[in-house]
Structure 1
Amino acid sequence: MTLIYKGKTKDVYSLENNQVLLKFKDDVTGTDGVFDPGANTVGLTIDGAGKSGLKMTKHFFELLQKNGVNTHYVSADIDDVSMVVKTADMFGKGLEVICRYKAVGSFLRRYGAYCEEGQELDSFVEITIKDDERGDPTISEDALAMLGILSNEDYKEIKALTKSICGAIKTELATKNLELYDIKLEFGKDKTTGEIMLIDEVSGGNMRVYKDGKYIVPLELERFFLG
């Protein structure tokens, strides 16, 4: 294997047949030592975070694939804390797609003059561009199309996929009395077929989940959900 890229929370290695291996790390995003799934910097290291994230990701990718969702997932090795996935072509330099059910995090910071913390949102979808230097700014459908990052047709497909995927995840979490407030997804195009597919991970590290009105940190979430 050849190291392709060292990421914040995962390292990427090349494999044969248009596949790569993702090696999960114990680093999580946040600021000043506080976990934040929306942050664009590594905030802290939590022992066991990588394995916990992989267990959740394996569960959700396998669930979504059973529901007919196209993903990059091939297989996972929990002991090795790694996952084999199909290679994807990125949109631009990478996009993050957020689905929000409650007003918290950056949504509340931006629009707090018009909403209260925890206010209900109707599966609101927004897209940010991956750009650490500029703080991962949000971007509109028109701007994505005009800048040649994402066509209007692909935008509509990704928005619909996001609502469907996140609805399934929300329903699955609810079986353990866990409430999804928001979640961040990533999409790319299958190098072989050109189809849009869900990529990256689906874990406590990229969602905010509450139980009885109390926020659950990623490791506790995995124990509550899969334990």
Structure 2
Amino acid sequence: MAAELKLGKKLNEGKTKEIYELLDRPGHVLVQSKDQITAGNTVRRDQMEGKAAISNKTTGCVFKLLQEAGIKTAFVEQHSTTAFVAAQCEMIPIEWVCRRIATGSFLKRNPGVKEGYRFSPLKLEMFFKDDANNDPQWSEEQLIEAKFCFAGLNIGQCEIDVMNRATVAIFEILEKAWSTQDCTLVDMKIEFGVNVTTKEIILADVIDNDSWRLWPSGDRSQQKDKQVYRDLKEVTPEALQVVKRHFEWVAERVQLLLESKNSCRVVVLMGSISDIGHCEKIKKACLSYGIPCVLRVTSAHKGPDETLRIKAEYEGDGVPTVFVAVAGRSNGLGPVMSGNTAYPVINCPPITADWGAQDIWSSLRMPSGLGCTTVLSPDAAAQFAAQIFGLNNHLVWVKLRASMLNTWISLKLADKKLQECTL
């Protein structure tokens, strides 16, 4: 498989990887992992056979999870057991560190803070990549004054804000995913680059077991990350095997982050087939969150027995379900469903221009004892269902979280463009 790509010159080499240009794929590079493991800016350096494959596997799974959520990354595809293809980026020389729990270097720089202090909101820090000076911590002001420009993009306040927000979102997505394995994501470092083709800031580099601290069951004594290597008093072949087993443990479980044990479903009930267009919009939005959606036609006015039979059909198989009632004019569908099921019911009536203002009250003003809510937008109805499922399904939740980030970024960039035009 490796022979299929025509490698050009080596563009960069770091402690644990090499970057090669791809002659037959302009705008892309090959990221080749190495078997080297380091600590303390290479003060400690060893060869750990098999690390390249383990790191490559871990990065591939992490980036796939983030991309499926909706985060823009440089990752394109796995190429071999030790390499992957990525979009070519000009890297921004900053490590963005996000912390949930105080430990490590934070305690040394902040005496008096006890290990285990929990940051809510997350603690965000920046470190300038400079091995000669041990990667000094930087402020936003220093980054602005550096006046960096990469791939034609000037790094100013807007770009810093985007990377800040993205770092927090990426951490929260991975934190949520790791919690399904009863594993606490303690802290994490990531890097961004400017895509040389699209000129946008994207998550780049790698995210592997060198990038974070992981504590199973929140217990530091069970740590599975590179800290195990840092803590070694003496590096022996036996000790390296212990470190390798920890890395393998992470690589095996990171694959499970792409799976969910919790199934879910939205069932859209329409009072008339004439509402099919409205319902198809709900279905499309549900599918964007990875939620299966079923469309049914039933009238609570004209066939209440059939409506309740359909309800029982979806209650009986044990799949967590949200019902969406689509009924115009007099909405009896949502109230009847809500009064006869413990599952969530959302009213999403198709509002018409003639009697819509009057009809909406049949969805808003419910008899006592009914808990169905009303949402007018088909997209918003699907989003509300996703928020319900996201409480127990991390793959749905991460899509919601990434969508929040992308909406914020689009507004930020729109404001920047408007200000540039005004100026």
Give TM-score scaled by structure 1 length: 0.89
Cα deviation, 1:44-69, whole Å, max 9, x if unaligned, reads: 33222211111111111111111111
The residue that corresponds to 1:7 in the other structure is: 14
Letter of the structure 1 residue corresponding to residue 147 of structure 2: G
Deviation at 1:41, TM superposition (A): 5.3
After superposition, the C-alpha distances for 1:141-186 in whole angstroms (9 at most, x for unaligned) are 0111012133111111100000101100111111111110011100
Are residues 1:59 and 2:88 paired? Answer: no
Alpha carbons of structure 1 residues 47 and 137: separation in structure 2 relative to 1, 3 Å? same
- Report SS of the residue matched to 2:210: helix
In structure 1, the gaps of 5 or more residues are 32-38
Whether the aligned pair in 2 keeps the contact of 1:40 and 1:135 (CA below 8 Å) is no
Match among 208, 212, 215 for residue 207 of structure 1: 212
- Asked whether the equivalents of residues 40 and 132 of structure 1 are also in contact (C-alpha less than 8 Å), the reply is no
1:49 corresponds to 2:51: yes
Q: Which runs of no fewer than 5 residues in structure 2 stay unpaired? A: 1-6, 149-154, 226-246, 257-423
Q: Indicate whether 1:216 and 2:224 are aligned.
A: yes
Larger radius of gyration: 2
CA contact (8 A) 2:72 2:202 kept: yes
Match of residue 148 from structure 1: 147
Q: Distance in 1 between matches of 2:15 and 2:43?
A: 7
Shift of 1:121: 1.6
Deviation at 1:40, TM superposition (A): 5.8
8 A Cα contact 2:61 2:254, kept in partner: no
| Alignment-mate amino acid for residue 62 of structure 2 | F
Q: CA RMSD in A?
A: 1.6
Task: Say whether the 8 Å CA contact 1:104–1:117 is kept in structure 2.
Answer: yes
**Residue 200 and residue 119 in structure 1: after superposition, are their counterparts in 2 closer, same or farther (change >3 A)?**
same
* Alignment match, 1:74: 76
Q: Is the 8 A contact 1:204 1:219 kept in 2?
A: no
Tell me the distance in 1 between the aligned counterparts of 2:80 and 2:175. 24
Which of residues 17, 27, 45 in structure 2 aligns to 1:18? 27
Residue 105 in 1 paired to residue 104 in 2?
Answer: yes
Which secondary structure does the structure 2 equivalent of 1:64 belong to? Answer: helix
User: Secondary structure at the residue paired with 1:127?
Assistant: strand
Q: 1:21 to 1:138 in 2, by over 3 A?
A: same
For 1:192 and 1:50, the matched residues in 2 are separated by 28
Q: CA deviation at 1:107?
A: 0.8
Normalized per residue, the structure richer in helix is 2
Between the aligned residues of both structures, percent identity stands at 27
**Conserved 8 A contact 1:12-1:22:** yes
| Contact 2:66–2:170 under 8 Å retained in 1 | yes
Q: 1:47 to 1:172 in 2, by over 3 A?
A: same
Match of 1:89 in 2: 90
Q: Is residue 170–residue 180 contact of structure 1 (8 Å, CA) maintained in 2? A: yes
Matching residue of 2:266? none
The AA in structure 2 aligned to 1:83 is F
Contact 1:55 1:78 in 2 (8 A): no
**Residue 126 of structure 2 aligns to which amino acid in structure 1?**
I
Distance 2:203 2:124 in 1: 15
Assess, with a 3 A threshold, how the Cα gap between structure 1 residues 125 and 40 changes in structure 2: closer, same or farther.
Answer: farther
Q: 126-135 or 44-53, which moves further after superposition?
A: 44-53
Take 2:177 and 2:144, find their aligned partners in 1: how far apart are those partners?
A: 34
Larger deviation, residues 4-13 vs 130-139:
4-13
Question: How far apart, in 1, do the equivalents of 2:42 and 2:201 lie?
Answer: 24
CA offset digits 1:65-122 (Å, max 9, x no partner): 111111101111343x10110111223xx111111111111111111x2311121123
Amino acid at match of 1:5: N
Aligned pair count? Answer: 216
TM-aligned CA distance change 1:40 to 1:136, over 3 Å: farther
Counterparts of 1:99-138 in structure 2 under 5 Å? 99-111=98-110, 113-122=111-120, 123-138=122-137
Aligned twin of 1:183:
188
Q: Say which SS state the counterpart of residue 70 (structure 2) adopts.
A: coil
Are the counterparts in 2 of residues 186 and 198 from structure 1 also a CA contact under 8 Å?
A: yes
Residue 204 of structure 1 aligns to a residue whose secondary structure is coil
After superposition, the Cα gap between the structure-2 partners of 1:43 and 1:95, relative to the gap in structure 1 and judged at 3 Å, is same
Deviation at 1:226, TM superposition (A): 3.5
Distance 2:127 2:43 in 1: 15
Range with greater deviation from structure 2 (41-50 or 3-12): 41-50
| Counterpart amino acid of residue 98 in structure 1 | V
**Cα 1:226–1:67 shift into 2, 3 Å:** closer
Check whether the contact 2:31–2:86 (CA below 8 A) recurs between aligned residues: yes
Query: Is 1:166 equivalent to 2:171 in the alignment?
Result: yes
Spell out, residue by residue over 1:8-39, the C-alpha distance to the aligned partner (whole angstroms, 9 max, x if none): 000111113111101111112314xxxxxxx4
Matches of 1:8 and 1:67 in 2, distance apart?
A: 29
